[in-house]
């Protein structure tokens, strides 16, 4: 992923949105994969080359995942834990509470990682095809474990004034609220220098964990996650080695009214450090996705994502959807390529989910920053992002520029609104952020809100109870919903069998949220519902003797019967 603020780094290598196919790599390529690392080479390449090449890491070449709705039934997690693979592949790790499996070449697991290597997209597709073929019938998704990087414009060493807070009228907003430590904002980034004198008081520590004792005291699956968690190095110390995440954290919540340093848009807030990017600003999709889901489990209301890349990722989209289902707002940087995201999307900001707020950057004159991406339909709001002074490593302060800096301003403002009205949902926060923005002529037809966020108007709107209007429901699929086609099949996993299939309309469109009853002779009757793809699944203990099973919906539509062994 690309962080968005500080030093220019070329755009990420373009990755295909779905990697659903792959066969055996050549001998030479296998050797390359063994020594590959999860870094995107900062090399400018043609569009055609960028779309046909990808960099992978030894042990993290491929990620296989289930959609959140499927994983929530425990069937997805079970299938991933018992993933069938060709003999030369192995599951290196299962992350995100069983939703993502990282698949590696078995020969590379004991090898030390070395220089980055480019791999052809076709090779990745062939490998995925082998994996999907071995798990035929189970709706898995397979793709490259892509890297995301920080995307920065040049550092400005001169100290500047905090014009961003003035432009946003934060001073007036502070007359209403200065924030609350009960509102947790996850900074999913390079980590946070949490001992910074202007940040330490606002770090959301985990009081159920004893730091540095090597024990998972609160039994949440993460050892020593007192200050947060480091998914890049897989330990409980999310300390920043880059500076980018610390800078973003200070914009959200550098301690206010303490007589020193700077002040964030929140004087008081709960900052949750989640390290998913290394010292060079790069990290993999699997780590970012795991970081997002960790933030949800740690109670974050808002997630700040100042990172991005030119291509989409199902793993990331699933993680953001998981956050959406938990009611979490995700604020993401639009990118620093001076491009129109309506035409050239930047992910995860361009992910088409309701809980995403994509942010462009403005300068001290309220004009769109020269480096900032924009989009009439894909970028929601703008915020100050040019020459922003904030916290940095080793108790320092630094000016940085980028949509990375604009993003925590918006994430921090959402937290300020949440402190004024804790009942606000992610939809409420998103609506008010846009509706209360100051109209700016230079931003007309550049962002959805046609303006730059205004802290005072947003907080007053939050207090007065302005909320988002009811969301328009999508039309139901299937013209004749009373007549359905139900498929059924079974796949054995050791002592368990997964009985699964699809509920479709007469025109073969998927039907979601349809009740399905499993009916067998000795296996106990049980009921579930189809997900957004029309998919349903039951995990059962294999019967001692073969028996016939079928599924029936609430309208007495029936599947064929199958023999389950």
Task: Tell me whether residue 378 is one of the annotated catalytic residues.
Answer: no
In DSSP terms, 539 is beta-bridged to: 498
CA atoms of 375 and 354, how far apart (whole Å): 16
- Reduce the secondary structure of 479-490 to three states and give it as a string: CCCCCEEECCEE
In DSSP terms, 62 is beta-bridged to: 103, 144
Element (H, E) at 293: helix 285-297
Point out the catalytic residue in the list 96, 123, 189, 419: 189
Q: Concatenated DSSP letters for 61-100?
A: SEEEE--HHHHTTTHHHHHHHT----TTEEEEEEETTTTE
CA atoms of 399 and 388, how far apart (whole Å): 5
Element (H, E) at 359: strand 356-362
DSSP, collapsed to helix, strand or coil, labels residue 107 as: helix
Instruction: Determine contact, residues 115/38, Cβ cutoff 8 Å.
Output: no
Task: Tell me whether residue 82 is one of the annotated catalytic residues.
Answer: no
Point out the catalytic residue in the list 196, 244, 247, 380: 244
Do the bridges between strand 356-362 and strand 329-333 make them parallel or antiparallel, or are there none, so unpaired?
parallel
Point out the catalytic residue in the list 301, 346, 350, 404: 404
Place of tokens 């910074």: 196
Please give the backbone phi and psi of residue 314, each rounded to the nearest 5 degrees, phi first: -65, -35
Please give the backbone phi and psi of residue 492, each rounded to the nearest 5 degrees, phi first: -90, 135
CA atoms of 142 and 322, how far apart (whole Å): 18
Task: Tell me whether residue 27 is one of the annotated catalytic residues.
Answer: no
Measure the N-to-C terminal CA separation of the chain; round to a whole number of Å: 45
CA atoms of 29 and 32, how far apart (whole Å): 5
Which residues are identified as catalytic? 189, 244, 404
């Amino acid at each position: 992923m690309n962080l968005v603020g500080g030093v220019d780094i070329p755009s990420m290598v373009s990755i295909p949105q779905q990697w659903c196919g792959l066969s055996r790599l050549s001998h030479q390529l296998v050797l390359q994969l063994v020594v590959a690392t999860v870094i995107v080479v900062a090399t400018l390449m043609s569009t055609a080359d960028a779309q046909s090449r990808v960099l992978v890491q030894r042990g993290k070449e491929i990620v296989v995942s289930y959609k959140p709705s499927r994983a929530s039934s425990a069937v997805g997690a079970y299938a991933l834990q018992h993933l069938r693979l060709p003999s030369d592949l192995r599951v290196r790790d299962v992350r995100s509470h069983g939703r993502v499996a990282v698949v590696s070449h078995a020969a590379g697991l004991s090898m030390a990682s070395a220089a980055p290597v480019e791999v052809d997209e076709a090779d990745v597709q062939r490998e995925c095809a082998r994996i999907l073929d071995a798990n035929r019938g189970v709706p898995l998704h397979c793709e490259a474990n892509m890297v995301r990087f920080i995307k920065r414009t040049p550092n400005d060493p001169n100290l500047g004034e905090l014009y961003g807070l003035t432009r946003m009228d934060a001073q007036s907003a502070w007359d209403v609220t200065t924030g609350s430590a009960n509102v947790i904002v996850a900074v999913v980034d390079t980590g946070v220098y949490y001992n910074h004198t202007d940040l330490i008081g606002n770090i959301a520590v985990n009081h159920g964990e004893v730091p540095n004792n090597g024990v998972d005291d609160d039994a949440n699956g993460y050892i020593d996650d007192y200050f947060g968690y480091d998914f890049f190095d897989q330990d409980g110390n999310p300390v920043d080695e880059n500076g980018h995440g610390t800078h973003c954290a200070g914009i959200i919540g550098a301690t206010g009214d303490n007589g020193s340093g700077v002040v964030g848009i929140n004087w008081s807030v709960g900052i949750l450090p989640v390290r998913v990017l290394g010292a060079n600003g790069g990290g993999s999709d699997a780590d970012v996705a795991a970081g997002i889901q960790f933030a949800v489990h740690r109670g974050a209301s808002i997630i700040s994502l100042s990172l991005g890349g030119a291509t989409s990722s199902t793993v990331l989209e699933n993680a953001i959807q998981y956050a959406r289902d938990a009611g979490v707002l995700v604020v993401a940087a639009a990118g620093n390529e001076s491009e129109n995201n309506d035409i050239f999307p930047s992910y995860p900001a361009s992910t088409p989910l309701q809980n995403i707020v994509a942010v462009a950057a403005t300068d001290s004159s309220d004009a769109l920053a020269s480096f900032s991406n924009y989009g009439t339909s894909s970028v929601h709001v703008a915020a100050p992002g040019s020459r922003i002074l904030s916290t940095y490593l080793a108790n320092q302060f630094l000016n940085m520029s980028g949509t990375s800096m604009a993003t925590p301003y918006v994430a921090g403002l959402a937290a300020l609104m949440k402190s004024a009205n804790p009942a606000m949902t992610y939809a409420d926060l998103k609506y008010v952020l846009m509706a209360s923005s100051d109209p700016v002529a230079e931003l007309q037809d550049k962002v959805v809100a046609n303006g730059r966020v205004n802290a005072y108007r947003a907080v007053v709107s939050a207090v007065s109870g302005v909320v988002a209007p009811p969301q328009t429901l999508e039309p139901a699929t299937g013209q004749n919903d009373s007549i359905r086609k139900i498929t059924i099949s079974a796949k054995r996993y050791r002592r368990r069998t997964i009985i699964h299939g699809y509920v479709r309309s007469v025109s073969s469109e998927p039907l979601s949220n349809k009740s399905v009853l499993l009916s067998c002779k000795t296996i106990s009757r049980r009921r579930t519902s189809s997900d957004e793809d029309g998919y349903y699944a039951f995990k059962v203990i294999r019967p001692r003797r073969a028996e016939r099973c079928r599924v029936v919906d609430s309208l007495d539509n029936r599947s064929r019967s199958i023999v389950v062994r």
